[in-house]
């Protein structure tokens, strides 16, 4: 049984499954990345140990060369593990920042906004309204994919033009946000690509989605842009 568990066939299944679980759980709840860290660390450890054992004990090559190869491969896996940990930490930090923007945005709307609203208030209100469509995220990966697709369509039809209009109003006051401009520029490129694909029958079914974290990023940049006004 031990031989079966430690075989390359088992490792070839266990490692991808751990990575997939880590990615799926982190996509659903990036604020709490413990499961993702455990999955990525376990996958790296299992692959590193199995590869080192195979090189040193199962190969008939020179032992010195096998040990050097094992150390080299372990170093590469370790570097990939470090990159994954940095990616998880960055994702958690961004999620926390977006959570704060949503929290403060709600406070501003409830306490400060009069019914008419000026440019700053309209930008904050739009930021909070966008955040509202991303509530109640599904807990399963399968449901999350369907939910993300529906949020993308909802966002494109309800919010994209409004964001561009408010961005243009700020531009007239010589107030710009480089990150917001870059995101909207990227979306423009996506829309152009979608139009080009529509002219090819075989590719008409391809849907270029706006991912939930991109939607949150747009809402965050709107709130930051609004802070430039008194």
Q: What is the pLDDT of residue 45?
A: 92
- CA dihedral (68, 71, 72, 73) positive or negative: positive
Tokens of 159: 């919010």
pTM over 0.75: no
Cβ(42)–Cβ(18) below 8 Å: yes
Look over the chain and give the mean of its residue pLDDT values, rounded to a whole number. 78
Q: What percent of the chain has pLDDT over 90?
A: 7
Look at residue 108 in the predicted model and tell me its pLDDT. 42
**Strongest mean pLDDT among 39-43, 84-88, 110-114:** 39-43
> What residue segments make up the domains of the chain, in order of their start?
2-91, 113-226
First to last CA, the chain: 69
Per-residue CA distances from 227 to 54, 101, 175, 220 (Å): 58, 11, 11, 11
pLDDT band at 61, cuts 50/70/90?
A: confident
Range name among 10-14, 103-107, 143-147, 220-224 with the lowest pLDDT average: 103-107
Q: What is the residue whose two structure tokens read 């709600």?
A: 106
| Whole-number pLDDT of residue 135 | 83
Integer Cα distance of 128 and 107 in angstroms: 10
How much is the pLDDT for 148? 85
């Amino acid at each position: 049984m031990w031989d079966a568990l430690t075989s390359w066939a088992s490792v070839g299944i266990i490692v991808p499954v751990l990575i997939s679980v880590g990615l799926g759980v982190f996509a659903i709840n990036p604020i709490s990345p413990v499961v993702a860290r455990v999955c990525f660390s376990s996958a790296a450890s299992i692959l590193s140990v199995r590869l080192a054992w195979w090189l040193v004990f199962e190969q008939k090559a020179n032992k010195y060369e096998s040990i050097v190869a094992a150390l080299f491969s372990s170093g590469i896996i370790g570097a990939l593990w470090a990159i994954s940990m940095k990616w998880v930490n960055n994702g958690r930090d961004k999620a926390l920042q977006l959570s704060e923007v949503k929290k403060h945005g709600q406070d501003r709307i409830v306490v400060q906004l009069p019914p008419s609203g000026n440019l700053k208030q309209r930008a904050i209100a739009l930021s909070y309204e966008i955040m509202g469509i991303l509530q109640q995220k599904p807990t399963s990966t399968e449901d999350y994919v369907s939910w993300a697709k529906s949020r993308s369509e909802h966002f494109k039809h309800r919010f994209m033009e409004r964001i561009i209009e408010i961005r243009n109003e700020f531009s007239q006051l010589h107030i710009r946000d480089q990150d917001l401009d870059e995101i909207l520029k990227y979306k423009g490129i996506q829309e152009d690509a979608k139009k080009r694909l529509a002219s090819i029958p075989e590719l008409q079914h391809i849907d270029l989605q706006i991912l939930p974290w991109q939607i949150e990023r747009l809402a965050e940049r709107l709130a930051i842009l609004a802070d430039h006004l008194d």
